[in-house]
Chains A and B, each alone.
Chain A
Amino acid sequence: MSATGLSAEANGKQSGASRLRRHTALLVIVMAALIVLALFPSFAQPYYVTLVLPAFAYAIALLGFNLLFGYTGLLSFGHALFVALGAYGAAVLTSKLGIKSFELILLASGLAAVVVAIPVGLLAVRYVRIFFGILTLAFGMLFHSFLFKFYNITGGDTGIRVLRPALFGNEFSDLDKTAFLIGPFYYYCLVLLVVLGFVMWRIVHSPFGLHLTAIRENSRKAEYLGVRVRMFRLAAFLISAFYCAVGGVILAINTGQADPETAYWTHSGELVFMTVLGGFANFFGPLVGAFVFIFLKSELMSLTQYWRFFLGVTLALIVILFPRGVMGVAQDLWSKVKKKQ
């Protein structure tokens, strides 16, 4: 899989000065985006602010997903499984076990996802490419059926209620749900995104991350060099599961319900769609993809009843014409601008 953006970052073949320049420019853009996001609730209409929450959730989930897809080269069509695990984790903890601490919910759901990801991953990383995609699709649907069948535990088709969590011990009970969501919860999730994003940045730039890229480029060569390919793939799989579960927790709190359709394979397809839309070859691609997709889908749903068709067309255009997604287009434009200078 050719993803020149990623390997160039990893190569470090540029000069020190230009690297510093690039990093500074990057930092400025990221800071600007964060400031916009932080100020968003004060100037945007409440509905659009509520849309940013699923965008946060998917952004976090996709950071993990892209570790597996963009950096390790494994396309999973079943990662909605882990998003659903996060959602149901939040549901069970808040409404069945009475645990309200958001921090505890995040940790527990994330760990639950990792625990489930171990056997699934062990089986799945034996395969690559298409096989990996089909297998993960099957596992995702297995979980979906499980959620339906064991309705006494999982609530079946209606799912389980997700109650409002306490952020650092504070339930903000004087605020109604919408105020809670676009107020303290919004900022908490923004900070969570920044923190988890930073962690992921360190992961992909660490020796571990470089190994993943090497495995993606040429797994046989990596094997010869002593890299235990399967272990690394499994590790990436587990990390991606954790991130997806965190995204699932945020989604579930936003909706107030964990339902089995979260685990359906077309939802996994949406995860891939968002990642590719934003640009899988760029660290920030998935984040951009999450935001663009959420707003695009909402606008399309308001405009036409055939929104699925137009989403499909968008995906087809991206795949055929703009495979490196929005960030790819942005990078191309940036290079053109720089060339002119």
Chain B
Amino acid sequence: MQNKRRTLLKAIGGAGATIAAQPYLSFPAIAQNTPVRVGIIAPKSGIVGTIGECGLRGTQFAVERINAAGGIAGRKVELIVEEETNPKDSIERLRKLVLQDKVDCVQGIVSSGVSLAMGAVAEEMKALLVFWDGTTQDGVKETMPNARYVFRSTDNECEAVMASLLAIKYWKGQFATVAGINPDYSYGRNNMAAFLALLKKFNVDAKVVAEQWPKVGTLDLTTHVAALKAAKPDLVFSSLLFADLPIFMRTAHGAGLMDGKTKFVFPGAGFQHTLLKKQFTPEGMIFGHNTLYFASDNASPLQRLFVKEYEEKYKDYPHWEADRAYFAMQVYKAGVEAAYKAKNAWPSKEDVISSMEGVKIESLGGPGHMRKDHIAEQTFYQGLTTHKNRYDFATLGQVDRMYSDQLQKPPGVDFWKWIETAQIKL
């Protein structure tokens, strides 16, 4: 009886396996004139809608130039764009892209919650997936210790690490009390924790006098600012990065918190940079622009071209999500082309993956590469704000540039252990 049941269940399983295996089994001879299909999953609405839009523009810029130059190894790139919403629905879109549209590669994702769920699903489906963003510590530890098909962006905490290092470098000894106002989710919590851990590591004796955890995207921060002001901190660390950031800036300025006595560190300010107008964004604050600082003096011709086109087309200035999207596309392209060259025929998915590991590319914001453990390394830009520019918002005067291998844990190491034990330079 036991055996019969098992055999029956196995038979059903077998049927399922055969059916499921269909999409992955055959690699038909690919004619040079069929396009490479790339699926993009990016948010379009809600609080991260603006981020998805900027990223998508980066992808489109990359694809336009790739196709103008003849495509990836001679095949043009075709994009199929789906919307990132919540984990369940986003995974359904992934399944559609992979099973139905049979795309060669999927790129995108901004939210950490979605990336966690989707990474596991993509691994199980053996689907090549390159994340733009959304990499958190806990998730990676649990679900993808040895990713095979999924490639991740730099750690979410890189900007917090760099901002903390800059704060220590510029202001060590000038502050005794710190306060934090961070969005109430994993990103905000990890960033604040990283900041405090780094203060401890570099023996900066600072007392935490206030910690605010506004709900993500809270639009009324009057009370939060009042509470912060009441605590009289010397330095405020804030990883706010959505619509709540310019609101905080304005409210804090209005409440007199920016009168020069308090120092501010904003690791994620770059997302909203154009909304941080000079009137309420003073100079001398640490701003993080992640992997793309649009007004960099040492910008590559590629970046200059991108920023100029972006300004003409969209009457706006890009932030780093565009660079992340561009990076993802370039890593994929580089992997395919290297594998193609080695094989002298169109490469299989496994060939592409092997080629992507270790590949070096030039992204919009600067050089980057993909580690063998499928985590990206890119160039990060942060600095002190200035008003000396031709815009109505604050930009960076003093720009510090760090490669992410100084900002994120090396392969196989736990993030918190790394902060404690590694040789991190200022």
- CB of A270 to closest CB in B, whole Å: 10
Point out the residues of chain A lying under 8 angstroms from B82, CB to CB: 301-302
Question: Does B224 sit within 8 A of A, measured CB to CB?
Answer: no
Interface status of B169 (Cβ within 8 A of chain A): no
| Chain B hits for A151, CB < 8 A | 185-186, 189
Query: Roughly how many angstroms separate A101 CA and B21 CA in the complex, as a whole number?
Result: 26
Choose among B9, B116, B117 the residue that contacts A167 (Cβ–Cβ < 8 A).
Answer: B9
Flag if B16 contacts A251 (CB, 8 Å).
no
CB distance from B101 to the nearest CB of A (A): 9
CB distance from A292 to the nearest CB of B (A): 16
Task: Name the residue on B nearest A185 (C-beta).
Answer: B16
Q: Tell me if A298 counts as interface (CB < 8 A to partner B).
A: yes
User: Contact: A178 with B124, CB < 8 Å?
Assistant: yes
Is A261 touching B86 in the complex (CB atoms < 8 A)?
yes
Given A159-B116, A161-B143 in contact, is the A179-B136 Cβ separation under 8 Å?
Answer: no
Residues of B within 8 A of A149 (CB): 184
Shortest beta-carbon distance, A99 to chain B, in Å?
17
| CB-based contact A148/B83 at 8 Å | no
Partner of B19, one of A41, A187, A254: A41
Contact A183 B116 (CB under 8 A): no
A54 near B184: Cβ-Cβ < 8 Å: no
Query: In the assembled complex, how far is the CB of residue A314 from the closest CB belonging to chain B, in whole angstroms?
Result: 17
| Complex Cα–Cα for A175 and B184 (A) | 39
Given contacts A156-B186, A183-B15, A259-B87, contact A168 B117 (CB under 8 A): no
With contact pairs A158-B138, A172-B13, A179-B16 given, residues A51 and B92 touching in the complex (Cβ less than 8 Å): yes
**CB contact between B113 and one of A157, A172, A179 (< 8 Å): that residue:** A157
**Contact across chains for B124 and A177 when beta carbons are under 8 A apart:** yes
CB-CB under 8 A from A331, the residues of chain B are none
Residues of B within 8 A of A254 (CB): 88
Q: Chain B nearest CB: distance from A102 CB in Å? A: 12
Q: Cβ of A251 and Cβ of B20 under 8 Å apart?
A: no
B247 at the interface (CB under 8 A from A): no
In terms of DSSP, what is the predominant structure of the interface of chain B? helix
Question: What's the nearest-Cβ distance from chain B to residue A257, in Å?
Answer: 3
Q: How far is the CA of A95 from the CA of B141 in the complex (A)?
A: 13
Q: Which residues 184-205 in A have Cβ within 8 Å of B in the complex?
A: 184, 186-187
Which one of A42-50, A207-215, A277-285 is at the B interface? A42-50
The answer to whether B19 and A49 touch across the interface, beta carbons within 8 angstroms, is yes
- Chain A residues, CB < 8 A from B138: 155, 158
Does residue A170 face the partner (Cβ distance < 8 Å to B)?
yes
Contact of A184 with B9 at beta-carbon distance under 8 Å, contacts A149-B184, A151-B189, A256-B121 already known: yes
Q: How many residues of A contact B (CB 8 A)?
A: 50
B87 touches A255 (CB 8 A): yes
In the complex the two chains form, what is the Cα distance from A252 to B139 in whole Å? 17
Distance in Å: Cβ of A254 to nearest Cβ of chain B: 8
Decide: A175 near B142, CB < 8 A? Known: A159-B87, A255-B87.
Answer: no
On whether the beta carbons of A170 and B6 are closer than 8 Å, the reply is yes
**A148-B216 Cα distance, complex, nearest whole Å:** 10
Which residue on chain A has the smallest CB distance to residue B126?
A176
Determine whether B93 belongs to the interface, using a CB cutoff of 8 Å to chain A: yes
Say whether A176 contacts B125, CB under 8 Å: yes
A341 beta carbon closer than 8 Å to chain B: no
* Interface presence of B5 (CB below 8 A): yes
| A158/B136 contact (C-beta < 8 A), A148-B185, A302-B96 known | yes
- Minimum CB–CB distance for A83 against chain B, Å: 11
Are B13 and A182 closer than 8 Å at their CB atoms? no
Chain A: CB-nearest residue to B16: A183
B16 contacts A175, C-beta separation under 8 Å? yes
Could you say which of A54, A170, A176 contacts B20, with CB atoms under 8 Å apart? A176
A157 touching B112 in the complex, CB below 8 Å, given contacts A41-B15, A179-B17, A256-B121: yes
Interface string of B19-47 (1 = CB under 8 A from A): 11111000000000000000000001100
Chain A residues whose CB sits within 8 angstroms of the CB of B15 once the complex forms: 41-42, 183
B185 touching A156 by the CB < 8 A rule? yes
CA distance A48 to B23 in the complex (A): 13
Task: Please pick, from B5, B92, B184, the residue contacting A50 in the complex, using a CB distance under 8 A.
Answer: B92
A136 on the B face (CB < 8 A)? no
Q: Is the pair A255, B125 in contact by a Cβ cutoff of 8 Å?
A: no
Residue from the set A167, A259, A262 with the largest chain B CB neighbour count within 10 Å: A259
Q: Are A259 and B99 in contact (CB under 8 A)?
A: no
Query: Within the complex, what minimum Cβ distance (angstroms) separates A40 from chain B?
Result: 10
- The verdict on A46 contacting B88 (CB below 8 Å), with A175-B13, A177-B121 known, is no
Residues in A neighbouring B22, C-beta threshold 8 A: 46
Say yes or no for B232: interface residue by CB 8 A criterion. no
A176 partner residues in chain B, CB cutoff 8 A: 17, 20, 124-126
Q: Are A159 and B117 touching (Cβ within 8 A)?
A: yes
Give chain B interface residues in 136-157, CB to chain A under 8 Å.
136, 138-139, 142-143
Which A226-284 residues have C-beta < 8 A from chain B?
A: 251, 254-257, 259, 261-262
In the bound complex, what is the Cα–Cα distance between A95 and B116 (angstroms)?
A: 14
Q: How far is the CA of A289 from the CA of B14 in the complex (A)?
A: 31
Interface presence of A322 (CB below 8 A): no
Query: What residues of chain A lie closer than 8 Å to B116, measured between beta carbons?
Result: 158-159, 161, 257
The answer to whether A183 touches B124 (Cβ under 8 A) is no
Whether the Cβ atoms of A256 and B91 lie closer than 8 Å is yes
Q: B100 interface residue, CB < 8 Å from A?
A: yes
Can you list 12 residue pairs at the A/B interface with Cβ under 8 Å?
A46-B20, A47-B96, A156-B186, A158-B112, A158-B116, A175-B20, A183-B12, A184-B12, A255-B117, A257-B87, A262-B86, A262-B88
Chain A: residues with CB nearer than 8 A to chain B?
41-42, 45-51, 54, 95, 148-149, 151, 155-159, 161, 167-168, 170, 172, 174-184, 186-187, 251, 254-257, 259, 261-262, 298, 301-302, 305, 308
Known: A42-B15, A179-B20. 20 other contacts (CB 8 A): A41-B15, A42-B19, A48-B100, A54-B92, A95-B142, A149-B184, A151-B185, A158-B116, A158-B139, A158-B186, A172-B13, A174-B17, A175-B16, A176-B125, A182-B16, A182-B19, A183-B16, A184-B13, A251-B88, A302-B82
- The 5 tightest CB contacts between A and B, nearest first, are A183-B16, A257-B117, A177-B124, A179-B20, A47-B99
